Each structure stands twice: as C-alpha cells, then as structure tokens.
Structure 1
Amino acid sequence: MRTFDFVIVGSGSAGSVVAERLSADGRYSVLVLEAGGSDRRFFVSMPLGYGKTFYDKSVNWMYRAEPDPGLGGTADYWPRGKVLGGSSSINAMVYVRGAAEDFDEWRDRGNPGWGASDVLPVFRSLENHEGPSNSLGRGGPLEVTDCSELFHPLANQLIKAAQEAGLAYNPDFNGATQEGVGAFQLTTKGGRRMSAARAFLRPAMKRPNVTVLTDAMVTRITFDGVRATGVEYVRHGKREAVKAGREVILSGGTINTPQLLELSGVGDAARLRGLGIPVVQHNAQVGENLQDHLGINYTYKANVPTLNQVLRPWWGKALAGIEYLLLRTGPLSISMNQGGGFFRTDPSRKRANMQLYFQAFSTVVPKAGERPILTPDPWPGFSIGLSNCRPTSVGSIHVRSGNPLEQPRIVPNAFSTDHDVAEVLDAVKFLRKVAATPTMSRLIIEELLPGPCCQSDAELIADFRKRSGTVYHPVSTCRMDPDPSQSVVDPRLRVHGIDRLRIIDCSVFPNIISGNTNAAAMMVGAKGAELVLEDQS
C-alpha cells in the first residue's frame, strides 16, 4: 500500500490550492484524489461553456435537493463540479471575496486568525489583477480580470438605472466597500476560464512530489482508533487504499465532505447506527447548519437588441464561435453576469443584504434538459436578478445509507424564517424600482416574469417561493468553531475528536458570506494549508 504525507480528497476550489501550497517547497509528498475526470474540455475552458456543463454528468454531480415547502414544493437542482477544479470549473466566474464584516464575524465567533485583517493578505497572495483596482493582489497565480469592455451595451444601461434608483457606483466590489453597483470582476485570462485547477493544481502537477488521480471515488476514511490513517477509493472498478503519513485532508465541499465523514463513521451516532454504519466519533453537527444564497430573476421584453439576438440564431452562434476561436473575445469569453452589485433593502440596515445581477439576455422559454444560456428567447429580453446575502434559514445534508454511490439527502429549508421572506419581499420591490427608472422604462416593452398581474405582497411572496432557487453557494455543513458541541472543526480546521484529519473547504464557513463563495473557498484553501504546515513537527 502506497503512503503519501498528505492525502487530499477533492481537487476543487480549496483542494487545488491546498495541493499547490503543501507541495511548494518539495518537502512533502501529496496525493490528490478526484472523483471526476480531466478539466481539459472545451466547454470547461470556454467561459460561457457553463451553459453546457450545467447538465453534463461527465463533469457535474447533478444533485437534486428534496422537495422544499419554502420553494413551493420544488426539488431544486444543485449542480456541483465533478472534475479537476471542482465547481470552479463550471461556475459563472464572478470573483467577490465577501464583505470584511463577514470575516470579522467568523473571528468573533471564537475563531482567531479568521478576521478580515487576517484573511486579506491571504486573498491578495492568490490574486493577479492587471486592471486599475488597487485592492486586488498582483503576482499571484489566480488571474482576476475586468471584462467590462466586453459587456453588452445594455449592461451599462442597467448599471445606470440602478444609480437612478439610488445606488452609488462602485468600481470595485473587493475594495473599501461592497455596497453599490458596477461591473463584476471575473476569473478569466485570455478569454479562458481561470479555474482553481488551471491556477493552482496544474502548476503543482508538474512537481515530482504531487500525484493526482482522477476517476478516484473515495468511499471511506480509514482509522486506527480515532486517528485517521488513510482512505479507501474505487478507481476504474477496482477497490484501492492509500495511507497518509501525516494527515488526511477533506476538500470535497459542502456536500461531499459531510457525506464522506458519515460514511466513515463520523457523525451523529444514532443516525449512523440506524444506517448500519459503525461509529468512530459522535458529532451531531456533521451535515447540519447548511446555508445557501437563493436567487430570483425579474425578466423584461426590451425594445432594443440584447444578447438574445446574438446567441439565439444559428448564424449568431456561428459568428460568436468564430470570434471566440480566432480572438478569444466576444460573448463566449465572459460570464452572463455582466454587472450587478450590493444593496440594502432598508436604509436602516448597517450594510448590504442583497446582491444584484444584470443579465442582458432572457430565458423565459427554456429548452428542456439544458441551461438555455446558448438558446435564449427569440425576442429581445433581459433579466435583473438578486440573491440574499446572509439568509437565516438553515438546512442539512446527510447520507441516506452506507452506499457511497447514493446521493445524499439535501434539505435546504429555503425561506423557512420570516426574516428571509420579508427581506426578499422588499428586494423584489426594489427590482421594480430599477425597472421604473427613466433609463429602464425607455427600454422596456413589458415585464414578462412575474408579470404585471403580480402585485400584492402575498402574490409577490408566492411568486418568489415558486421561482427562486439556489445560486450555487452552499456552505457550513462542517462548521468551524472552538465548541465541539456546535461545530465539526476547530479554528485550525482539525476535526473535533479525530487526530490527523482536517477539513479545508467551504463546508467549514462559520456563516455564509455576502456574495459569491468561490473566492473565499480558495482563501480557505490557502489559509488551511498554512495551518497544516505550521502544525508539522
């Protein structure tokens, strides 16, 4: 049986960074086990290819949550990356670190070293930005790009309208303040996606002390008492095992990490015994405390051309494809989230509690079985979307059985608190305020979704319960906290009660952050690797 100093389960946003940092000086051998395959695929590399990978089981776990009363009984679809780079290989590439207050809250919960001033240098060490922003780092492996010059002209009109509705212009959501409206920075370089695999794992794979195995589904952590010794996995139909000389590091993410813990006997003892899983360590918090951002779009028919007219007809697709193949520019080279921002639903709030997204296309008429980014509506249309920054609704993720191939039970409990319902009600009213500004009203023929018949508070609530869904930011199922009765890992990301087992991914977030979670997941990867190296004796 082979032995590596560190065995990392998962090559996603955090795991790719962990592998790069732990292997950098050559002292330690590192094995990365990834259940998916290679990221060297055209639709992974092409930024707008996430419209194709959204339902592609070759790179996507394609999870389905339980029917949720808070979403009108809908069983929400949860795509997650099953490929080198994880979800950073299939996401919409928006780079938002999160508000400084988010990380100060982490610190103030009893997690020293995780405040805003502590994590800012870690973020900056990851980043390379050649634009005008002074807040982003320079010289790091991760390219962060200002793509606003490639935005559809309508995106600038949407940004102008939001200012007319009372929001300040913000040129940098990673700068001094998050609030305001402007252009999102994206993780792209040269018209190609800059995933965590491209930025961190691929360079690390050139080192002789790094081994990466794809198509390796980890089924169980092995233990000697309460000390993690390695993992078992299935690859190409063959069961194999590997030992970790120093630590096993779980970087499977918010779904796969608690799933693997429970399959391995770490979790609520009564739950595990009921499923016939031998208990190694009781911890009732494994899989609990699930938080996620929920989003909804308001969609309009326009009297000016939008990206619908570019991407709907075959000849439009062909021209966009030629432009991308020859020049690596055009609409296929960036995200559909072409601008947005953060706002407060009530001026009395201390900070922004909603995120805006502007999309110069519409998909009222969906194409079955495919995210219709590349097949938008046949008329000019656009959407203004939002998601809640800090929801108070909490769900859970747990295994259904001891079978590692069975998808876990995902229970989001969306809109299960009055707080979450009330703030989204205020937020959708603000969307209509934006649509009613002089700039927008000149461009709008009619509101398509939810439509002018939806007016009362009860009607608006019923609509967003029916049409809202995840914006793919689940976190906190293995929460960090010094109290073992309230968490799964301590502030150094060590699993409570277990030796040589650490979790380094977004499942350890003490609370959800304000904005897209990919940047913070990579930061946790870098910070976690620092802690691992500090603890080696």
Structure 2
Amino acid sequence: MNSTPAKFDYIIVGAGSAGCVLAARLSEDPNNSVCLLEAGGPDKSIFIKAPIGLAAMLPTKLYNWAFETIPQAGLNGRKGYQPRGKTLGGSSSTNAMLYVRGNKWDYDNWAALGNEGWSYKDILPYFKKSEGNEAFKDEYHNQNGPLSVSNATDASDLNQMFIDACKQQGIKHIDDCNGAEQAGAFYYQRTIKNGERCSAAKAYLTPNTARTNLTIITHALTEKVLFSGKTAIGVRYKKNKKSIKITCNKEVILSSGAFGSPQILMLSGVGASAHLADKGIASVHDLPGVGQNLQDHIDYVQTFKVASKHDTFGFSVRGCLRILKAMFAWQKYRSGKVTSTFAESGAFFSTEENLVAPDAQLIFVPAIADNHARTINFGHGYSCHITLLRPESIGEVKLNSNNPEDSLAIDPNFFNHKNDMVIIKRAAKKMQNILLGKAFAAIRKDMLYFVENGNDEQLEHDIRNRADTQYHPCGTCKMGPVNDAMAVVDSQLKVHGMENLRVVDASIMPKIISGNTNAPTIMIGEKAADMILASS
C-alpha cells in the first residue's frame, strides 16, 4: 500500500465482494491508477481467517455493521437483524463461506427483463473466471481462478443423516448444485483454502497489495460523490475525523452493497428528489429507483436437541473442550473442526410442480441455531434453515438524515405479499418432515421451539415470531433499461442520467437469485471489470 495521491483513474467505494474484484482486475494494467476505499479495517484477524470464527462475528459488531431494520409488520412488529461485513472483503470476510451460484433461470430472467448480456450463457464464463475449484472439473467449473472453492472437510456425521432424510422425502442426492442441475440434496462447497477463509479480499487483494498503482485506504467512510454537473469527478471521505477529497480521471464506482451504495447515491444528491429535499440534500439528479426494489431471502429455522455425545457443536463442557482441542489442531495443521462453516449440507427443492426453478433452499447445521447466534442455548442439537428463494415482497432503503454516519431506514417488508407466507409454510412443513425422519430417529430429542407437525396456525405463529433474513439483501440500485422507471443502472452498470458513475455489487440485481449471493456478486465484479476496461 502506497501513500495517497489526490487523483486516480478509478475510485472504488467499498472493498466488499465486488469491490475487491474490481480493484484487482482494473489494476492489472499498470497504466491504471486505482484507489479502493473501505469504511472498515484490515482483514487480518484470526476470527476472519478461521472459518469457525463466523460464530463470533455474526451476533456482534466485530467486523460487522450489525444493521437493524425498521419494525416489520410481517414479523409481528419485530426489528430484523442485518449483519454486513465491515472490513476488507466485506461480507465475504464474515459470512458462512457457502459457494452457491443460483439457478440458470435467474440470469435468463435478468436478460428477459431488458438486461442484454446477463443471460446464464453470458455470465457463466465470469463464474468460471473467478473460480479455483479443487473438486470439480467440467464445463461448469474452473480450477485456476483466484477464488478457492473446496469440499467440506471434517463434516459432521449428521450431514449424511440429513441427506438420507431428504431422500426419504423425495429429494435426491446430487454432487454439485452449481452444475447441470440445482435441485437435490448435497454437501455445500465452501470458499476455503488450506483450512482458512478465502474471502474476496484474500483472493483478489492480498496477492496484489504490492502493486504501485493500487492504493487501499481503510477506515475511510465515504461521505459523498463529487460532481461537475452530472459527471462524477471524485469522492469525499472521512478518515481520522478529517474530510478528504480525491478526484478521478475516469470513473467513480460504488461497490458498497445493497445498503451502502444507495445511501451514498442519495447523500450525493442522486435519488428521489422529494426524499432528498426532506433530508436537506440538494438534488443533482432525480432518480426515484435509488433505494427501492429491496429484496431479501426470508429464512426460518427449526431445531432439535440431541445428546451431547453426538457429532455436533454446542455449549457444554465436552463441546467447549472439543473446540479448544480443535483450535490447537487448526493452529498447527489448518485442519479439524475449526475449518467448519457450520452450514455443511443442504438442498434445493420445489414446493409445487412445474416451477421454473426450485423455490426453497435448506441449510443444515449440526448445532443449535437460534436468533443469529445471539441467543445462547446450552446443550447440543441440529438445526435446519428453510429459505424462500423468490419472495414477492419488495422493500426499500431510505435515509434517516443527511449525516453519512447515521443509521438507515431499512425496510425489507417481509411477508407483505401474502404468497410468501403460503410458500414458506409449505416449504417449512417439508423441512419438518425431514427433521422428523427415520434418519434422525436414534439421536433426536425435544424440539427447541415446539410446532406440532402439520399445524398451520402454530407454524405461521412461529414463523412470524422468529423468521428473519438469510443475509442476502439486494436490488436497491436495480439494473434495467431506461424505460424502467425504477431502474438505477443500465446493463453496463452505468447510473442512468449520469456520467463516469457506476454501481457494481448485489444492489444491481433486478431480481434476487435463487441461492446465496456472494458468488454471484463476485461474478458481477468480474463482468463489470471487463466492461469497464473495454470502454476505457
């Protein structure tokens, strides 16, 4: 990392999953000077490196913005929790490291909505370009990309019970949910290399920090984009309580995620003019879609307790001693239980026949999972998440004030559309049948939050009391053609009506994808880098 000049070719705001990709790819050309701004700090902590460290970061503010939503009517008035990474690598440094691409149909649908160049055929090469897969070698995968993808190691024996229980409910076993077909039960692949988390920062930044044309500035909170007319010319950020201005020759690129990117646009005067005026912000460009179209995966968990002798994580004398022993093994060999992502196996399935793609995802965890790990339960158990993949409820992100350090008004609007509750109940019943299956009979004890199997009223009550995000907010800077009133960027990810300004992150997704969003966001970064370099 070098000293900070006042002018660069490219300024990238946000060192998350897409921002790290952009910084690495744009700086491959030594003639491009690149500045990467990150509000969080470095990513050198053992909690980031050790995969199991996610359990410490998820429920706390450790490398975590730990956002809250506004009270959700669909969740009985509860505020939802929205953990997002606050460090180099963004949420790829704090997430559960699952490598999931979504369904082919998702991207073909993006293209059908008027986004040329975003069909599955178009984006598959970018998934492959990013990927260094240690297990699969076929037309869907690559072994030589920077992002390491590997199979589960030291996985709990309970995962095979889960897969067997899925088979008993008509869900077949598959090896690869990112290949020819998505539907089925499987072991998740993870972004882990040699027993350590392989975040976007580890994959794309760490090998390239010595580049003299790449400047990385941490603890830098972006306050606004600077404009000359409607042309982006730089950024103002705060570091050590001082506001600093830097300018660019080519482009400002926002990669601050589904919350940060619309926030920065609005603080800069780009958004719905009435909302900006209400917050005392002068309008640079009236763009009503900024902060709209928020989509997220609503998620519901059921848990059963087991005796502590089984291969599970848990709070008990034996469980704690086991983790201490595993930590020594990890320090010496980078192997053992510390390499677990907790979420080790799962499934995709359709809740009814003739759907375009699976609409439900299962994530199995050999531990008691409760309230984002913020509620501690002593003992051992196994849990399963059911995730509604294509929710119809749409929310928004708005400013609370014109202060960049202020919280946001985040409203996912969970269960606003009645179909979402209908579908998640249908999916949850299947999940409960799996967890009550013969495969678990020998170890299963009491249900943590009892719901009588098949009781619709109890089930809906429990869902509204406990469901929350699966950590996949997206869509708030929607990609779409100029005739789409809610579109913020075009298919080149350029902000409509502006010059030298792009958004590159999960916020550009016009529709949420059928799966986890980290790998797709890295793909977006790869594709955007090619588009930017081609236009320079």
Which residue, out of 10, 13, 36, partners 2:40?
A: 36
Report the AA paired with residue 512 of structure 1: I
| Residue in 2 that maps onto 1:470 | 469
Preserved contact between residue 314 and residue 381 of structure 2 (Cα < 8 Å) = no
1:432 aligns with 2:437: no
**C-alpha displacement of 1:438:** 2.0
Q: Does 1:493 align with 2:493?
A: yes
Structure 2 residue aligned with 1:299: 303
Aligned AA (2:474): V
Once residues 34 and 448 of structure 2 are traced to their aligned partners in structure 1, the CA distance between those partners, rounded to angstroms, is: 53
Residue identity matched to 1:289:
N
Q: Post-superposition shift, 1:348?
A: 3.5
* CA distance in structure 2 between the aligned counterparts of 1:116 and 1:203, rounded to whole angstroms: 29
Which residue, out of 171, 178, 183, partners 1:174? 178
What is the one-letter code of the residue matched to 1:377? F
* Bigger mean CA offset, 194-203 vs 437-446: 437-446
Q: Does 1:442 align with 2:442?
A: yes
Q: 1:133, CA displacement in angstroms? A: 4.8
Aligned amino acid, residue 143 of structure 2: R
Check the 8 A contact 1:306/1:382 in 2, yes or no: no
Range with greater deviation from structure 2 (434-443 or 415-424): 434-443
Deviation at 1:82, TM superposition (A): 0.9
C-alpha spacing 1:107/1:154, structure 2 compared with 1 (3 Å): same
Partner of 1:377: 378
Change (3 A) 1:234 1:58: farther
Per-residue deviation, 1:58: 4.6
Q: Residue 473 of structure 2 aligns to which amino acid in structure 1?
A: P
Q: Deviations over 1:440-487 (max 9, x none)?
A: 2333223222343x7531221111111100010000000000125220
1:332-351 superposed matches below 5 A: 332-351=338-357
SS of aligned partner of 1:259: helix
Q: Where do 1:107-118 residues align within 5 Å?
A: 107-118=111-122
Q: 1:451 to 1:287 in 2, by over 3 A?
A: same
Shift of 1:204: 2.7
Q: What are structure 2's unaligned runs of at least 5 residues?
A: none
CA shift for structure 1 position 401 = 0.9
Measured in 1, the distance between the counterparts of 2:523 and 2:356 equals: 25
**Corresponding residue of 1:354:** 360
Partner of 1:284: 288
Q: How high is the TM-score relative to the length of structure 2?
A: 0.96
Per the alignment, residue 314 of structure 1 pairs with 320
Q: 1:408 maps to which residue?
A: 408
Amino acid at match of 1:513: I
- 1:532 corresponds to: 532
Post-superposition offset of 1:214: 0.4
Q: Is the aligned partner of 1:141 residue 2:142?
A: no
Amino acid at match of 2:30: G
Q: Distance in 2 between matches of 1:6 and 1:77?
A: 33
Q: List runs of 5+ in structure 1 lacking aligned partners.
A: none
Cα deviation, 1:238-272, whole Å, max 9, x if unaligned, reads 11000011000000000000000000000000111
Counterparts of 2:269 and 2:202 in 1: how far apart (Å)?
34
| 3-state SS, counterpart of residue 405 of structure 1 | coil
Preserved contact between residue 52 and residue 371 of structure 1 (Cα < 8 Å): no
Aligned to 2:205: 201
Distance 2:158 2:439 in 1: 10
Q: Secondary structure at the match of 1:125?
A: helix
- Determine the C-alpha separation between the residues in 2 that align with 1:436 and 1:466: 22
SS of the aligned residue for 2:283 comes to coil
In structure 2, C-alpha distance between the alignment counterparts of 1:426 and 1:447, rounded to whole Å? 19
Kept in 2: contact 1:221–1:264 (CA 8 A): yes
Aligned residues of 2:451 and 2:458 also touching (Cα < 8 A): no
- Deviation per CA, 1:8-52: give whole Å up to 9, x if none: 000000000011111112120000010110001110111110111
What does residue 247 of structure 2 align with? 243
Displacement of 1:309 after TM fit? 5.3
Please give the per-residue CA displacement for 1:84-133, whole angstroms capped at 9, x wherever unaligned.
00010000000001111000001111111100000001110110112145
| 8 Å CA contact 1:310, 1:316 repeated in 2 | no
Corresponding residue for residue 456 of structure 1:
455
Cα deviation, 1:157-210, whole Å, max 9, x if unaligned, reads 111111111001110011101100010000000110000000001223221110
Contact 2:105 2:356 in 1 (8 A): no
**Closer, same or farther: CA 386–349 of 1 in aligned 2, 3 Å:** same
Q: Which moved more, 1:199-208 or 1:66-75?
A: 199-208
1:487 alignment partner, SS class: coil
Structure-1-length-normalised TM-score? 0.95
Report the alpha carbon displacement of residue 328 of structure 1 after superposing the two structures with TM. 1.2
CA distance in 2, matches of 1:388, 1:35: 31
Q: Between Structure 1 and Structure 2, how many residues are aligned?
A: 528
Q: Give the equivalent residue in structure 2 for 1:514.
A: 514
CA shift for structure 1 position 351: 2.2
Separation in 2, partners of 1:432, 1:55: 26
What letter matches 1:461 in structure 2? E
One-letter amino acid of the counterpart of residue 459, structure 1:
Q
Q: Does 2:388 match 1:388?
A: yes
The percentage of counterpart residues that share the same residue type is 37
CA distance in 2, matches of 1:424, 1:512: 16
Task: Give the deviation of 1:416 after TM superposition.
Answer: 0.9
